[in-house]
């Protein structure tokens, strides 16, 4: 999938992106012969997106929810997230084909943590990664299989997904960045 890289988020229609991404996901699932994927969203933005993708795919099974707070690699620097909530996977991940969904792929550290957590629930058959945005700031060899939009932000910019209804993207400038949003992605 080739995507243009753009600097602003004006005109990004999250719902439209999700429909395009879901169509591509469906195609990849078909190519791989997967008819019962297990959707897992990363709290919080990824969960909203996973719910919508689940709807669009017409799947009956509930999505899984991951809170990766206990798996972060920056615990020794920033400490424990006091707002941690339990992860909830509806079924065992052992042998399942998983679609892992997050809002923003930036450093790749959240995905590293999420993969570790998923494996602690059992060994999946496969994991596909789907992210709404990819910010091209990788610090780890992790790339998404399905990307809605690639963006390049200035160092003083950050992007935030709000939702669940409606799903919308907001561009934040450094001075308005909260501690919470610095920890995301």
Site for other proteins, rule CB under 8 A:
67, 69-71, 75-80, 82-89, 92, 94, 116-117, 119-122
Q: Least distance from C-beta 136 to other proteins, angstroms?
A: 28
Q: What is the DSSP string of 12-24?
A: --HHHHHHHHHHH
Q: Least distance from C-beta 10 to other proteins, angstroms?
A: 37
**Closest alpha carbon to 53 in 22, 28, 25, 23:** 22
Are the C-beta atoms of 171 and 8 separated by less than 8 Å? yes
Q: Which tokens sit at 51?
A: 């719910």
Question: From CA 138, how far away is CA 174, in angstroms rounded?
Answer: 20
Q: Please, which residue, 23 or 84, has the CB nearer to other proteins?
A: 84
Q: Please, which residue, 85 or 170, has the CB nearer to other proteins?
A: 85
Q: Least distance from C-beta 108 to other proteins, angstroms?
A: 17
Q: Please, which residue, 18 or 66, has the CB nearer to other proteins?
A: 66
Question: From CA 44, how far away is CA 10, in angstroms rounded?
Answer: 22
Q: Least distance from C-beta 27 to other proteins, angstroms?
A: 32
Question: From CA 120, how far away is CA 94, in angstroms rounded?
Answer: 10
Are the C-beta atoms of 19 and 56 separated by less than 8 Å? yes
Q: Least distance from C-beta 21 to other proteins, angstroms?
A: 29
For the chain, give the number of residues: 185
Q: Please, which residue, 82 or 166, has the CB nearer to other proteins?
A: 82
Q: Please, which residue, 3 or 61, has the CB nearer to other proteins?
A: 61
> Pairing state of beta strands 168-173 and 157-162?
antiparallel
């Amino acid at each position: 999938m080739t995507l243009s890289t753009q600097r602003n988020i004006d005109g990004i229609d999250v719902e439209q992106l999700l429909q395009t991404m879901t169509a591509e996901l469906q195609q990849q699932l078909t190519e791989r012969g997967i008819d019962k994927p297990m959707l897992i969203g990363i709290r919080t933005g990824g969960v909203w997106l996973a719910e919508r993708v689940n709807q669009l795919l017409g799947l009956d099974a509930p999505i899984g929810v991951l809170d990766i707070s206990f798996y972060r690699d920056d615990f020794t620097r920033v400490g424990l997230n006091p707002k941690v909530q339990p992860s909830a996977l509806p079924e065992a991940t052992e042998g399942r084909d998983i679609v892992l969904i997050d809002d923003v792929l930036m450093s790749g550290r959240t995905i590293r943590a999420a993969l570790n957590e998923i494996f602690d629930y059992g060994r999946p058959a496969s994991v596909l990664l789907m992210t709404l945005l990819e910010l091209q700031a990788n610090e780890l060899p992790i790339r998404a299989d399905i990307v809605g939009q690639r963006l390049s932000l200035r160092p003083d910019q950050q992007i935030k997904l709000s939702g669940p209804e409606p799903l919308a993207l907001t561009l934040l400038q450094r001075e308005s960045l909260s501690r919470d949003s610095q920890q995301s992605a």
